[in-house]
Structure 1
Amino acid sequence: MMFRPFRVWAATVAAVLSLSSVASCYPQLQAEFSKRQIGCRNLKDSYDYIVIGGGQSGLVVANRLSEDPDATVLIVEYGYFDDRPMVLQPQSATSYPRQDLFNVTSVPQKGLGGSRQAVYAACVVGGGSTINGMMLNRGAADDYDNWEKLNNPGWGFNDLLPYFVKSTRFDAPAPQLQKEFNITWNESSYGSDGPIHVSYAPFQWPGVKIQYQGLVEAGAEPQLDGADGHAYGVFWYTVRTVHPILVAGQELTNQQSAVDNATVTRSYARNQYYDPVANRENLQILTGWRVNDITFDENKHATGIRMQKRGTEAGAQVITVKSKKEIVLTAGALHSPQVLQRSGIGPAALLEKAKIDVVVDLPGVGSNLQDHAVSGFSYRYTTDVEPNPTTTQAQNKTFAEWVQKEWKENRSGPMSQTTGNTAGLLPLKVVSPDRWEEIVAAYRAQNAADFLPGTYTAEQVRGYEAQRAILSDSMTRTDNAVVELPIQGTGSGALVLTKEVSRGTVLLDPADIYADPVLDYQTFVNPVDAAIAVENVRFARRLQQTPSVRALGPVEQVPGANVTSDEALLAVVRSSSGSSTAHISGTCAMMPREYGGVVDSELRVYGVGGLSVADSSIQPLIPGAHICATVYAVAEKAADLIKARHR
């Protein structure tokens, strides 16, 4: 997803990166993207597995479960297929069609001056992988090892790495691009025949090299690759776009891909996990239907689902479908907790208020909400290198013509880019060498309950205290980061908070349980988040004053050179930051039940049988990365766990 600070440069680039020619670029795709789905009349009475949600994780799980020809699998998805060719175009990374998103905003955020914040939740087959920024980086090894430290055996980085590898297929950059920009990677961290193509855009702005060196000069440690667990310092990371470069018909990449080498296309759950297996007789998908709730027998074993056609009024026909083995909930961090709550699994007080019979009092359902809050900065470069993103203004006709020609003839140039390939992921000691100890000490000394949602029980507070012990340790390390700073050769950028300590909630509306849930990010409610955000802004200033970046002649625009005191910077951060980078996570947390957890390390929902969760909501701590790669790995591992217990 694109976040607010990126719009500064994205809007400029969009002036010449027109989508008008997209359909002509992919004439074959209209036929290939025919909808393969069933209507309600074609439903069977029962299936071995029912997957609730045909988003990113749901398509992965359904693909793997249906590998057994004797196992029947049904996917039920509220959204629809999006067959528009522009979905595949790289520049769709900064364009998010409303039709593919739920229309949800948060409650007013008291930590952000009372502003309501956008909630980026996909409503389309393929989920977030269909409409996101295509970044496919992974967190540091410490991020996933922290999951295991919360009593989740088998979920450390070394346990997840095989699934990161399994889900990917690496496409190396062209040799001349690799040499010019010193692009490095660890080939063993990627697969050679996995579904999702990962790669580097065939065009990079020359200013990226300068900013990369500036990050090194500011204290960031260069890494060979972030995908091998070294997601800290500064490094090149992959995006999910297949991008062979063709010059006069000659391929310049060592590509292992079944994708047409004349195209540059989004590689995502729809076209890599679902389309290749859509004709399996044991796999069916039903779109445009809402799962109302999950049914249970007297032993609290999940027996099926009740669902209703999208857009129908209360009292419309409700259809029941039975499950013979397991129901897998993959409706995302926004709606997975809501489906559980509607099914009688959640905080008892909330369910009783909504007049829902309590099946299991599980207070953690809908709590532990995390995202990556984002602040920003903007500089005008007075002696910038050419070309640069600002060069693409509409009045530069020559450059605009070159952009279009390069795209049409070679599938290269700025139109082949998504949201960049380079970032600094900076430990707190690098961001704030003078204040990091003070910040960590303040965090450890807090009375945790003072900054948690009022709905938290004593068990949930204990669980958060366990998280705090782990997070505060990570803040002292040099191999984990508190901020992501993507670089794109432009003076504007984002400061993404990767170790958010505030916690929010996603709870159904007792007045209308079928309306979208009530979401409260609680952004910056914990003052430690705001303090780190202020230090991030100060680091951005130091970056601009490194010898390399200073040569570009930076002049500060946002927040403004006159904004210097702690109080003034804090006011700017609270008034201009965003709650989300479309990475909502954690609302059905994988933690012990006595810590307020919702699923165990096998992803089974506590207190019932035959029901599991396998999407971003299970992440107990959000990793310091765009979560798409992690969602693929979790879903791949979930499928293996599910198959193993029904073998």
Structure 2
Amino acid sequence: MNSYDYIVVGAGSAGCVIVNRLIRAGKSVLLLEAGHADNTPFIHIPATFVRVLGTKRTWNYKTEPEPGANGRVMHVPQGKTLGGSSSVNAMIYIRGQAEDYDAWRDAGCPGWGYEDVLPVFRRSEANQRLAGFYHGTDGPLRVSDTHYRHPLSYAFLRAAQETGIDYNDDFNGAEQAGAGFYQTTTFNGRRGSTAATFLAGVKSSPLLTLHTQAMVEGLILENGAASGVLYRHANGEVKSARVREEVIVSSGGIGSPKVLLLSGIGPAEQLSRFGIPVIRDLPGVGENFQDHISASVYGATKDPISLFGNDKGLRAARNGLQYLLWRTGLLTSNVVESGAFVDTSGSGRPDVQLHVVPALVGDADRAPPQIHGISLNPCVLRPTSRGTISLKDRDPATPLAIHANNLATQQDIDTLVRGVELCRRILRAPSLKKLIAKELAPGEADILDRSAIENHCRQFAKTVFHPSGTCRMGSDDNAVVDAKLRVRGVPRLRVADASVMPTLVSGNTNAPSIMIGERCADFILAQG
């Protein structure tokens, strides 16, 4: 049985960061990734990421039927490849609000306030344009402006300003509120996943052992402490590996609680029901599930100016040739180029984020209208609904039961309704109105009653693929990890990814997950 200083389970947004920092510190690391290598061009060409969703390089998770979404099942794809979700997301670089992290600190996570995490964000970042107090320029993570910007994205920004939303040139600076273009984790016209940045920097090191298509079936625990892992290769062979120092589980908001549960760490009642020996009764494992929920507002354009059809025929060939020859054009876009953060409740901080797509977008089980148009997608930034993740049986291959419980509170549906109403106003502002033939959804009429908009929200609600909170950090009895990401009551075991977030950050989760990976490595290395 091989042994290593550290074993990292999951080569995702946080896992690749941890590996980079440990290898550079002279530690030997075994990195286990359940998915394939990131060796398809559709991952690395920014605009083609949608072709990866739903393939073997994503976990195609589904929720149980959602009462808050008219009984529908929601789809939550997550990365199943090197780089994890940083290899399949829309590359938007957002950190969240200072208040998010101060709330973590005040909820029993000392050392996680904004003043604590901002230097870590800066250390990771190599920003193309920004520097100073809020931004770094020398880190592994490449952050840049998109070279291609669609005319409908510009029209949205003008229309947003016409409705009274200020322009914001840096959502990660002093103020998040406003409308603007997103910065992205891209460089030289290519995706900058954590695999292409952090992991690539140490991939040739003799201290790193990397296995893809290696499904972890459980942790090896001796005297209640982590001492290794059991994992299954694609050929069905089960192997084990020992660790001299620690195991770090970094499998995401859905994958990490599964690893703990299969290992006997979680609610004793659930584990006993499936005949899993209880190593540590931790009721919080799988609880506190949160995700960002959105509902699209569709506008059909008068002329064929959207992205519709650009992936077919001569237009696709032209786009591909331009990208191959000059690394310019539409394929360098992350598609979701522009957006906004807006305070719709008067609370003093944005509660709705807009993701704008210069095309009509559907969902995994729902095709959009096959015409030219624009999608304005408001999402609830700080959901109050909470769900749970649990096992269905003790077989590692069986999908989890995800009772997401989205839109379960009146506050969440009220926020989403306000977001949809805001998008309808933006769609009717002069800069978009002159391009839009009609609103397709929720409805063409300028005024819709509240019940029609709420029904639209519930019927078209979808996740923004940010599952979080299921291995919550804290100091209370229901917390899963402490403020240094150590699993409570299980020595030599940590969790580091979006699952440790006590509350979901106000924005996209990739950058915060990278920061969590950085902090985990700091905690480990500070021990000597």
Q: TM-score, normalised by structure 2?
A: 0.91
Give the secondary-structure state (helix, strand or coil) at the position aligned to 2:18: helix
Equivalence for 1:538 = 421
Equivalence for 2:201 = 276
Q: Which of residues 150, 155, 180 is equivalent to 2:107?
A: 150
Q: Which of residues 405, 411, 435 is equivalent to 1:528?
A: 411
Equivalence for 1:127 = 84
Give the secondary-structure state (helix, strand or coil) at the position aligned to 2:24: coil
Work out whether 1:560 is the aligned partner of 2:480. Answer: no
Question: Separation in 2 of the partners of 1:391 and 1:333?
Answer: 35
Question: Separation in 2 of the partners of 1:67 and 1:392?
Answer: 43
Is the alpha carbon distance of 1:401 and 1:302 closer, same or farther for their aligned partners in structure 2, counting shifts above 3 Å? closer
Q: Aligned partner of 2:266: which letter?
A: G
Work out whether 1:632 is the aligned partner of 2:502. Answer: no
Is the alpha carbon distance of 1:332 and 1:402 closer, same or farther for their aligned partners in structure 2, counting shifts above 3 Å? closer
Equivalence for 2:461 = 577
> Is the Cα–Cα contact under 8 Å of residues 615 and 635 in structure 1 kept in the other structure?
yes
Equivalence for 2:141 = 196
Give the secondary-structure state (helix, strand or coil) at the position aligned to 1:56: coil
Equivalence for 1:289 = 214
Question: Aligned-pair distance for 1:56?
Answer: 2.3
Work out whether 1:306 is the aligned partner of 2:230. Answer: yes
Question: Aligned-pair distance for 1:362?
Answer: 0.9
> Is the Cα–Cα contact under 8 Å of residues 306 and 374 in structure 2 kept in the other structure?
no
Work out whether 1:337 is the aligned partner of 2:232. Answer: no
Question: Separation in 2 of the partners of 1:390 and 1:302?
Answer: 51
Give the secondary-structure state (helix, strand or coil) at the position aligned to 1:591: coil
Equivalence for 1:64 = 21
Q: Aligned partner of 1:585: which letter?
A: S
Equivalence for 1:473 = none
Question: Aligned-pair distance for 1:319?
Answer: 3.0
Q: Matches of residues 473-512 of structure 1 in structure 2 within 5 Å?
A: 476-477=347-348, 479-486=349-356, 488=358, 491-510=374-393, 512=395
Q: Report the RMSD for the aligned CA atoms in angstroms.
A: 2.4
Question: Aligned-pair distance for 1:62?
Answer: 1.0
Percentage identity across paired residues of the two chains: 28
After superposition, the C-alpha distances for 1:201-258 in whole angstroms (9 at most, x for unaligned) are: 2121233333212212323233341112522222332112213xxxxxxxxxxxxxxx
Give the secondary-structure state (helix, strand or coil) at the position aligned to 2:59: coil
Q: Matches of residues 178-327 of structure 1 in structure 2 within 5 Å?
A: 188-243=133-188, 264-298=189-223, 300-310=224-234, 312=236, 318-327=238-247
Q: TM-score, normalised by structure 1?
A: 0.75
After superposition, the C-alpha distances for 1:572-594 in whole angstroms (9 at most, x for unaligned) are: 2111111x212111110112233
Equivalence for 1:118 = 75
Question: Aligned-pair distance for 1:132?
Answer: 1.4
Give the secondary-structure state (helix, strand or coil) at the position aligned to 1:567: helix
Q: Which of residues 34, 41, 49 is equivalent to 1:93?
A: 49
Is the alpha carbon distance of 1:401 and 1:160 closer, same or farther for their aligned partners in structure 2, counting shifts above 3 Å? same
> Is the Cα–Cα contact under 8 Å of residues 125 and 140 in structure 2 kept in the other structure?
yes
After superposition, the C-alpha distances for 1:18-60 in whole angstroms (9 at most, x for unaligned) are: xxxxxxxxxxxxxxxxxxxxxxxxxx53211111112221111
Equivalence for 2:283 = 363
Give the secondary-structure state (helix, strand or coil) at the position aligned to 1:189: coil
Q: Matches of residues 459-470 of structure 1 in structure 2 within 5 Å?
A: none
The structure where helix makes up a greater share of residues is: 1
> Is the Cα–Cα contact under 8 Å of residues 339 and 353 in structure 2 kept in the other structure?
no
Q: How many residues matched?
A: 513
Question: Separation in 1 of the partners of 2:333 and 2:269?
Answer: 49
Equivalence for 1:77 = 33
Q: Aligned partner of 1:273: which letter?
A: F
Equivalence for 1:415 = 331
Is the alpha carbon distance of 1:391 and 1:188 closer, same or farther for their aligned partners in structure 2, counting shifts above 3 Å? farther
Of 548-557 and 533-542, more deviation after overlay is shown by 548-557
Q: Aligned partner of 2:242: which letter?
A: K
> Is the Cα–Cα contact under 8 Å of residues 111 and 523 in structure 1 kept in the other structure?
yes
Equivalence for 1:427 = 343
Give the secondary-structure state (helix, strand or coil) at the position aligned to 2:78: coil
> Is the Cα–Cα contact under 8 Å of residues 153 and 356 in structure 2 kept in the other structure?
no
Question: Aligned-pair distance for 1:609?
Answer: 0.9
After superposition, the C-alpha distances for 1:315-363 in whole angstroms (9 at most, x for unaligned) are: xx64332211111111111111011111111111101101112122111
Question: Aligned-pair distance for 1:401?
Answer: 7.4
> Is the Cα–Cα contact under 8 Å of residues 14 and 497 in structure 2 kept in the other structure?
yes
Question: Aligned-pair distance for 1:413?
Answer: 2.0
Give the secondary-structure state (helix, strand or coil) at the position aligned to 1:66: helix
After superposition, the C-alpha distances for 1:577-614 in whole angstroms (9 at most, x for unaligned) are: 11x212111110112233x2111111111112111111
Question: Aligned-pair distance for 1:404?
Answer: 5.2
Larger radius of gyration: 1
The gaps in structure 1 that reach 5 residues or longer are: 1-43, 173-184, 244-263, 430-435, 437-475
Is the alpha carbon distance of 1:544 and 1:102 closer, same or farther for their aligned partners in structure 2, counting shifts above 3 Å? closer
> Is the Cα–Cα contact under 8 Å of residues 152 and 374 in structure 2 kept in the other structure?
no
The gaps in structure 2 that reach 5 residues or longer are: 360-372
Q: Aligned partner of 1:303: which letter?
A: S
Q: Which of residues 484, 496, 503 is equivalent to 1:614?
A: 496
Question: Separation in 2 of the partners of 1:394 and 1:638?
Answer: 44
